[in-house]
Homo-oligomer: A and B are copies of this chain.
Amino acid sequence: MKKVAIVGASGYSGEELIRILLSHPQAELSAATSRQYAGQTVAQIFPRFAHHPRAKALRFSEPRAELLDKEAQIVFLALPHGVAAEFAVPLLQLGCHVIDLSADFRVKDPSIYKDFYGHDHPAPELLSQAVYGLPEIYRAEIQKASLVASPGCYPTSVLLPTLPLLKAGLIKPAGIIANSLSGVSGAGRKAEPDYLFVECNESVRPYSVPRHRHLSEIEQELSLAASEPVTIQFTPHLVPINRGILTTLYLAPEQHFGDAQAMDNLAKKITACYQTAYGEEPFVRLLEGKALPDTKNVAGTNVIEIAWRLDPRTGRLIVMSAEDNLVKGASGQAVQSMNIICGYPETSGLI
């Protein structure tokens, strides 16, 4: 049993971490901080967890790094970017493992961070030791990491379907388009008019066009996979569901497939590529036959669904993915990293 703490446990990612960790067979949730709720029990603030004895016993505490190390060996940071780094520095010094769900340690280049997040990086000296927490790609590195930068929700939905194809040279690094649809929990528990029920219900809308912050980490990882700088088009949209991201990727295969045989050949290569990359992965579901991804099939799980189609009319490869933005896109994936660090079965607490 490892003692784990959550700093910033009152947002949606924090709440989801609580949900997962309360049921995790090898983790004891020893602390959860929240300025707003300090002193109240987890059961009081989140009644849905009140049937867990631990939720009745655990009180939210003030976020103080110096206290956390006594309480936890693993600390999850579910804080806004900028603030997360402030906690990571002392916690690492005190010997904790830190799994950060913010954007603070995802982008290796502090100038790109500044470019996308609008302020100087708060702890550039830590960037070299941070590991990008995509287990299917960086499992070995995560195992040894003391600081994990858990990926963003959109990046996870874009990278998992794309990286194997890029690495295998099956698609061109140029011209990638990612069209994403996100549930409203992706905006966080922010009391802003744009996210009121009446404003989101019966509404579908794009936002942050053409330059969403998640581009910084997406392009970093695509570039690493392609061994050349990659720039992509990424358009997020808000859709009226609580949880889920559906991403549709428009990709250009390196190989033309003008006739049926070429198409068949290419299809076999793509099948083999995904099978090699994810055939044994517990949380990647490669859809078969006529099945297409659907957020309702992954809601509440740490699974990402992936399906693809070749279009002989346009010569493109369409890849589609579905995930729960709060689980595989945030808290579930962070716990997956914890499992790896601690040497637990990777699915522990997640299936």
Q: How far is the CB of A242 from chain B (nearest CB, A)?
A: 5
Q: Per-residue CB proximity of A177-209 to B under 8 Å, as 1/0?
A: 101010111000111110111111111111101
Q: How far is the CB of A136 from chain B (nearest CB, A)?
A: 14
Whether B250 pairs with A205 at a CB distance below 8 angstroms is: no
| Contact of A195 (CB < 8 Å), options: B181, B196, B210 | B196
Question: Which segment of A44-52, A66-74, A80-88 sits at the interface?
Answer: A44-52
Contacts of A198 on B, CB cut-off 8 Å? 12, 183-185, 189, 195, 242
| Contact of A202 (CB < 8 Å), options: B206, B299, B313 | B299
Q: How many protomers of this protein does the assembly include? A: 4
With A and B bound together, what is the CA distance between A48 and B294 in angstroms? Answer: 9
Q: How far is the CB of A283 from chain B (nearest CB, A)?
A: 7
Whether A211 pairs with B313 at a CB distance below 8 angstroms is: yes
Contacts of A239 on B, CB cut-off 8 Å? 181, 204, 239-240
Contacts of A12 on B, CB cut-off 8 Å? 198
Contacts of A301 on B, CB cut-off 8 Å? 48, 51
Q: Per-residue CB proximity of A155-194 to B under 8 Å, as 1/0?
A: 0000000000000000000000101010111000111110
Q: Per-residue CB proximity of A209-248 to B under 8 Å, as 1/0?
A: 1110000000000000000000111010101111110101
Q: Per-residue CB proximity of A311-351 to B under 8 Å, as 1/0?
A: 10110101010100000000000000000000000000001
- Chain B, Cβ-Cβ closest to A243: B202
**Interface centre among A12, A51, A52, by most B CB within 10 Å?**
A51
Contacts of A205 on B, CB cut-off 8 Å? 246, 292-296, 322
Contacts of A300 on B, CB cut-off 8 Å? 300
**Interface centre among A47, A199, A320, by most B CB within 10 Å?**
A47
Whether A51 pairs with B203 at a CB distance below 8 angstroms is: no
Whether A231 pairs with B313 at a CB distance below 8 angstroms is: yes
Whether A184 pairs with B204 at a CB distance below 8 angstroms is: no
Whether A184 pairs with B203 at a CB distance below 8 angstroms is: no
Q: How far is the CB of A113 from chain B (nearest CB, A)?
A: 17
With A and B bound together, what is the CA distance between A192 and B50 in angstroms? Answer: 23
- Chain B, Cβ-Cβ closest to A194: B191
Whether A297 pairs with B48 at a CB distance below 8 angstroms is: yes
Check if A119 is an interface residue, CB within 8 A of chain B: no
Whether A320 pairs with B206 at a CB distance below 8 angstroms is: yes
Whether B242 pairs with A201 at a CB distance below 8 angstroms is: yes
Q: A192-B191, A283-B51 are in contact. Are A197 and B294 (CB under 8 A)?
A: no
Check if A3 is an interface residue, CB within 8 A of chain B: no
Whether B51 pairs with A295 at a CB distance below 8 angstroms is: no
Q: How far is the CB of A327 from chain B (nearest CB, A)?
A: 12
With A and B bound together, what is the CA distance between A239 and B313 in angstroms? Answer: 26
Q: A192-B191, A202-B202 are in contact. Are A313 and B241 (CB under 8 A)?
A: no
With A and B bound together, what is the CA distance between A306 and B107 in angstroms? Answer: 34
Check if A298 is an interface residue, CB within 8 A of chain B: yes
- Chain B, Cβ-Cβ closest to A52: B351
20 more CB-based (< 8 A) A-B contacts, given A47-B285, A204-B294, A235-B318: A47-B294, A48-B298, A48-B299, A50-B285, A51-B283, A51-B285, A51-B301, A184-B196, A189-B196, A195-B197, A197-B199, A197-B200, A197-B201, A198-B242, A201-B240, A202-B244, A202-B296, A204-B246, A206-B292, A240-B240
